[in-house]
């Protein structure tokens, strides 16, 4: 095995080292690089087909991320105990890696290309997603595949002290208010052009803001985009060093030979322009999407008929003509924006489409919101549930549960088309994650609001930025459900048209403007803080000052949208919906958890059956948590009272009379329940109305109710009771009972109806009690010593844990 080539460099401002290595693993791969930071390592391979697949009319780039459980010292939690379909985290890493790479391949390169990142080490401290981007760029650089690199990427966390931390650990990210992932390329001037941005607030960011941490607004984010350049350059320099080392060791890297694919020739374009340029110019002025598409299709048919018919100059080149028409349409749209400042639907560059907002659209839902911006319409529905419904996460990150879920669905009919429906695709996973990231910072923690929250965004109509419409509708449904979010959140998608050094930023882009433009830039946030950001480009990068100006333009639109949303619902409702479960969480001592659950769950199951409430018990190692939920509030209150009676039984008062119920009968007396969770003893000597009785059953039976009075409460909390009111008369007894002796060898016991005589034995409560206990339990030790009692003041009922 050949010696590996390894290059390393320090990460400025940290004690970490970024390392690239090649030559040890995957020797047959065209490009293979292991990238590592601390104990986190990824192996990324880059391979491309040697020949073009016939008829390929797009660039078939595939990026896959394989998470290996062994990397974190885990065994997969699935039934088969092996890795299955990619996790959501892996899918998001695929998208994160793909986005800056895709526009960086050579024009006309259509050979099938695959990037595969395999996570081989996960130290549970350092994330692997940014490593995947850097490793993919490095692998492409040494593969010979026509790639215009290298690209560098960095994650930064914004601390509560207002500092950007490069390559933060999971803990450092959670302790901050914002995280920012940026990928870019170094220009000839030495500056860095931004290729991709993925950013969002942390789960506790608004808690930190309340404690005085600086808010992340447009100015702070602009500073972050400027600060990231240092570490992007470091990664790029290290990749160039790796390439130089490979060349020095193995000779020049042989480039992959490929035949560029040209969709149409200049002659075809010129002919199309001459045939239908007027038709296209009129089509792009039509505001309605479907009418505009119909006019464009008509122009395409006209061009094909004129140029591809029998004996025509371009006979048999229908596909090339169609592509030329599409290119002419794109150029017409862009030129109209540049020359006239007018967009497809007649708006100016900074104009927002009409916006409407509505809540309570589904009466049975816990919360619902409908948001529409132009032809884009998204309904969001919120469902609230007990914490037991938190999602279990089986991934390589330290996160093992998730309580805030956002799912996004975009069926083909939302575009008036046909297509496959069913399981979510990567795009749907990514859009749902972006909307979740945008809203999560304003959602209260589970400690403050116990519910598990699942939001579902249903795209009803699509024409530009359904993900940002999902953000707005999510905020509406949360407030409609009574979730006490800290502020409303809105999102807006921005576009860009570049003409030389001139950049024109477009507010609220249409679907066609996304396809024909140079940038897709989404910004979400409250009135004074940014909560999420996503940027993708189709050009070689965007200067940071252009992005800064786009942020400012996006804020104006965001504030307009928030005004409409606030008119629909200005604040969260005071109470959760009648259809939603009512939930309360109690904190209890650890030693009470067993009592609440009971042996084999008997106690908690009984409470659930009697009240109809749903109860779950958990702990954090220091204290227990009991969460109670029910749709009807009275069920929850009854269950809570029953649990509190176990955790903190009510205290009896000396001299007070209670209506009690006999819960246990022993030889020496009866235990009577007088309060929830509180029993007392009526000694046998106190029964019979001053007459001696041989057995407690002579006067009482299980379940019988009668009034008792608290006579004494000792220092251990044991309650002594005496009957109150009239003397309790014994129930009818069988002949077998009548013939039964007193049990002390003195012969038959006198009837309860016999009058008392002067020689009635006087009984001491304490002496009789001790004698009976000694008979059952043995020697109780020296006189005067306190007895060991496992009944905990609850009479003769032993607690089983």
Please, which pLDDT band fits residue 126 given cuts at 50, 70 and 90? very high
The pLDDT tens digits of the residues spanning 641-699 come to 888 888 887 788 889 999 999 989 998 999 998 887 678 999 988 887 777 888 888 88
The pLDDT tens digits of the residues spanning 697-748 come to 888 889 899 899 999 988 888 899 999 865 445 454 443 344 334 444 444 4
Cβ-count burial of 799 within 10 angstroms (0-12 exposed, 13-18 middle, 19+ buried)? Answer: middle
Q: What are phi and psi of 636, to 5 degrees?
A: -65, -40
Q: At what angle do helices 426-439 and 88-101 cross, to 10 degrees?
A: 100
Across the range 593-617, mean pLDDT stands at 88
- Cα–Cα distances (Å) from 457 to 223, 406, 409, 471, 473, in that order, read 33, 8, 6, 9, 8
End-to-end CA distance of the chain: 61
Out of 95-109, 128-142, 775-789, least confident range? 775-789
* 3-state per-residue secondary structure call for 39-107: CEEEEEEEEECCCCCCCCCCCCEEEEEEECHHHHCCCCCCCCCCCCCCCHHHHHHHHHHHHHHHHHECC
- Res 679: pLDDT: 86
- Res 648: pLDDT: 81
456, β-bridge pairs: 381, 407
> Closest Cα to residue 195, out of 162, 157, 236, 164?
236
Q: Omega into 278 within 30° of 0, i.e. cis?
A: no
Q: How far apart are CA 70 and CA 88, in angstroms?
A: 18
In the DSSP assignment, the letter for residue 264 is S
Considering 478-492, 638-652, 740-754, the range whose residues carry the highest mean pLDDT is 478-492
Considering 251-265, 590-604, 685-699, the range whose residues carry the highest mean pLDDT is 251-265
Enter the tokens of residue 197. Answer: 């941005």
- Res 91: pLDDT: 94
Q: Is the pLDDT of residue 762 over 60?
A: no
With beta carbons less than 8 A apart as the criterion, state whether 491 and 524 touch: yes
Cβ-count burial of 526 within 10 angstroms (0-12 exposed, 13-18 middle, 19+ buried)? Answer: buried
Of 505 and 776, which is predicted with more confidence? Answer: 505
Chain centroid to CA 461: 25
Non-local (6+) Cβ contacts of 96 within 8 A are: 129, 132, 133, 181, 196, 198
HSE, CB side, 13 Å, CA atoms: give it for residue 78.
11
Please, which pLDDT band fits residue 206 given cuts at 50, 70 and 90? very high
Enter the tokens of residue 701. Answer: 């039976």
Non-local (6+) Cβ contacts of 469 within 8 A are: 371, 372, 373, 376, 377, 378, 457, 459, 491
With beta carbons less than 8 A apart as the criterion, state whether 166 and 231 touch: yes
In the DSSP assignment, the letter for residue 728 is P
Chain centroid to CA 493: 23
Q: What are phi and psi of 605, to 5 degrees?
A: -65, -40
Out of 64-73, 210-219, 778-787, least confident range? 778-787
- Cα–Cα distances (Å) from 290 to 282, 413, 606, 683, in that order, read 14, 13, 61, 90
- Res 767: pLDDT: 57
Percent of the chain past pLDDT 90, that is, above it, reads 57
Non-local (6+) Cβ contacts of 602 within 8 A are: none
In the DSSP assignment, the letter for residue 141 is H
The pLDDT tens digits of the residues spanning 529-579 come to 999 999 988 887 788 788 888 999 999 999 999 999 999 999 999 999 888
Enter the tokens of residue 84. Answer: 């299955």
> Residues of 551-569 as b/e, b for ≥16 C-beta within 10 angstroms?
bebbbebbeebbebbbebb
Sheet holding 367-373, edge to edge: 355-359, 367-373, 376-385, 452-461, 404-409
With beta carbons less than 8 A apart as the criterion, state whether 382 and 367 touch: yes
Percent of the chain past pLDDT 70, that is, above it, reads 90
Across the range 82-104, mean pLDDT stands at 92
The pLDDT tens digits of the residues spanning 337-385 come to 998 999 988 899 999 999 999 999 999 999 999 999 999 999 999 999 9
Please, which pLDDT band fits residue 473 given cuts at 50, 70 and 90? very high
Q: What are phi and psi of 757, to 5 degrees?
A: -115, 170
Enter the tokens of residue 700. Answer: 């009482």
Please, which pLDDT band fits residue 787 given cuts at 50, 70 and 90? very low
Greatest distance between any 2 Cα atoms in the chain: 138
Q: How far apart are CA 801 and CA 787, in angstroms?
A: 22
> Closest Cα to residue 553, out of 488, 509, 491, 505?
505
Residue positions counted in the chain: 801
- Res 788: pLDDT: 38
Q: What is the pTM of this model?
A: 0.79
Sign of the dihedral through C-alpha 250, 252, 254, 255: positive
DSSP three-state, residue 26: coil
Non-local (6+) Cβ contacts of 764 within 8 A are: 685
DSSP three-state, residue 308: coil
- Res 727: pLDDT: 45
Q: Where are the alpha helices (DSSP H) in 544-654?
A: 544-568, 593-597, 602-611, 633-647
Across the range 455-479, mean pLDDT stands at 95
Question: Can you list the positions of beta strands (E) in 403-529?
Answer: 404-409, 452-461, 490-499, 502-507, 519-525
- Res 136: pLDDT: 97
Across the range 155-159, mean pLDDT stands at 97
The pLDDT tens digits of the residues spanning 45-56 come to 999 999 998 888
- Res 772: pLDDT: 57
Q: Is the pLDDT of residue 766 over 60?
A: no
Across the range 107-122, mean pLDDT stands at 95
With beta carbons less than 8 A apart as the criterion, state whether 492 and 434 touch: no
Across the range 393-417, mean pLDDT stands at 88
Enter the tokens of residue 416. Answer: 């008036």
- Cα–Cα distances (Å) from 355 to 491, 564, 565, in that order, read 12, 7, 9
Mean pLDDT of the chain: 87
With beta carbons less than 8 A apart as the criterion, state whether 588 and 645 touch: no
Enter the tokens of residue 163. Answer: 């500092």
- Res 674: pLDDT: 87
- Res 458: pLDDT: 96
Please, which pLDDT band fits residue 773 given cuts at 50, 70 and 90? low
């Amino acid at each position: 095995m050949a010696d590996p080539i390894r290059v390393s460099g320090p990460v400025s401002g940290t004690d970490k080292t970024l390392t690239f290595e090649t030559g040890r693993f995957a020797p047959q791969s065209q490009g293979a690089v292991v990238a590592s930071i601390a104990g986190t390592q990824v192996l990324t391979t880059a391979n491309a087909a040697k020949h073009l697949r016939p008829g390929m009319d797009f660039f078939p780039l595939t990026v896959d991320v394989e998470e290996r459980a062994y990397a974190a010292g885990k065994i997969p939690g699935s039934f088969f105990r092996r890795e299955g379909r990619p996790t959501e985290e892996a899918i998001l890493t695929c998208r994160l890696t793909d986005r800056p790479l895709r526009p960086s391949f050579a024009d006309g390169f259509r050979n099938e290309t695959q990037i595969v990142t395999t996570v081989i080490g996960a130290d549970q401290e350092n994330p692997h997603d940014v490593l995947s981007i850097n490793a993919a760029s490095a692998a492409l650089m040494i593969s010979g595949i026509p790639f215009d690199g290298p690209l560098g990427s960095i994650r930064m966390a914004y601390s509560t002290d207002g500092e950007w931390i490069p390559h933060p650990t999971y803990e450092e990210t959670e302790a901050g208010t914002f995280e920012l992932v940026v990928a870019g390329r170094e220009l000839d001037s030495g500056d860095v052009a931004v290729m991709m941005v993925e950013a969002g607030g942390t789960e506790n960011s608004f808690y930190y803001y309340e404690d005085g941490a600086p808010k992340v607004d447009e100015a702070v984010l602009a500073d972050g985009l400027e600060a990231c350049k240092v570490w992007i350059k470091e990664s790029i320099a290290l990749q160039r060093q790796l390439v130089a080392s490979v060349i020095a060791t193995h000779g020049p890297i042989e480039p992959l030979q490929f035949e560029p694919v040209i969709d149409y020739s200049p002659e075809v374009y010129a002919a199309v322009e001459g045939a239908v340029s007027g038709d296209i110019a009129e089509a792009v002025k039509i505001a309605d999407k479907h009418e505009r598409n119909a006019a464009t299709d008509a122009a395409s048919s006209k061009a094909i008929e004129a140029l591809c018919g029998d004996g025509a100059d371009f006979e048999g080149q229908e596909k090339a003509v169609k592509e030329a028409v599409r290119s002419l349409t794109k150029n017409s749209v862009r030129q109209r924006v540049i020359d006239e400042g007018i967009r497809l639907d007649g708006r100016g560059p900074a104009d927002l489409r009409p916006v409407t907002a509505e809540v309570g659209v589904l009466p049975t839902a816990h919360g619902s919101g409908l948001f529409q911006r132009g032809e884009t319409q998204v309904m969001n529905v919120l469902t609230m549930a007990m914490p037991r419904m938190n999602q279990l996460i089986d991934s390589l990150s330290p996160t093992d549960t998730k309580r805030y879920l956002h799912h996004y669905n975009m069926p083909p009919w939302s575009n008036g088309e046909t297509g496959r429906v069913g399981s979510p695709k990567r795009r749907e996973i990514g859009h749902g994650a972006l909307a979740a990231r945008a809203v999560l910072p304003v959602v209260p923690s589970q400690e403050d609001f116990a519910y598990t929250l699942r939001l579902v965004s249903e795209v009803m109509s699509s024409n530009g930025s359904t993900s940002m419409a999902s953000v707005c509708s999510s905020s509406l449904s949360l407030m409609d459900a009574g979730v006490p979010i800290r502020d409303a959140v809105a999102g807006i998608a921005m576009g860009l048209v570049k003409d030389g050094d001139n950049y024109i930023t477009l507010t609220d882009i249409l679907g066609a403007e996304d396809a024909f433009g140079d940038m897709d830039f989404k910004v979400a946030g409250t009135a004074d803080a940014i909560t999420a950001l996503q940027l993708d480009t189709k050009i070689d990068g965007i200067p940071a000052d252009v992005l800064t100006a786009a942020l400012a333009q996006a804020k104006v639109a965001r504030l307009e949208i928030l005004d409409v949303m606030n008119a629909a619902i200005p604040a969260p409702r005071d109470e959760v919906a009648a259809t939603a479960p009512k939930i309360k969480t109690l904190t209890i001592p650890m030693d009470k958890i067993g009592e609440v659950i009971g042996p084999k769950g008997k106690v908690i199951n009984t409470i659930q059956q009697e009240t109809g409430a749903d109860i779950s018990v958990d702990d954090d190692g220091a204290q227990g948590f009991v969460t109670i939920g029910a749709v009807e509030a009275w069920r929850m209150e009854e269950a809570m009272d029953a649990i509190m009676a176990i955790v903190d039984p009510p205290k009896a008062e000396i001299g007070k009379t209670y209506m009690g119920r006999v819960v246990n009968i022993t030889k020496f007396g009866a235990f009577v329940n007088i309060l929830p969770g509180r029993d007392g003893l009526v000694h046998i000597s106190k029964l019979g109305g001053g007459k001696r009785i041989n057995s407690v059953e002579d006067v009482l039976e299980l379940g019988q109710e009668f009034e008792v009075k608290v006579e004494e409460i000792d220092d251990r909390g044991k309650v002594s009771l005496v009957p109150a009111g009239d003397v309790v008369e014994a129930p009818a007894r069988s002949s077998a009972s009548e013939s039964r002796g007193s049990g002390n060898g003195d012969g038959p016991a006198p009837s309860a109806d016999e009058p008392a005589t002067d020689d009635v034995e006087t009984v001491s409560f304490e002496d009789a009690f001790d004698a009976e206990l000694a008979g059952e339990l043995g020697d109780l030790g020296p006189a005067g010593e306190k007895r060991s009692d496992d009944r905990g003041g609850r009479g003769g009922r032993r607690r089983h844990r």
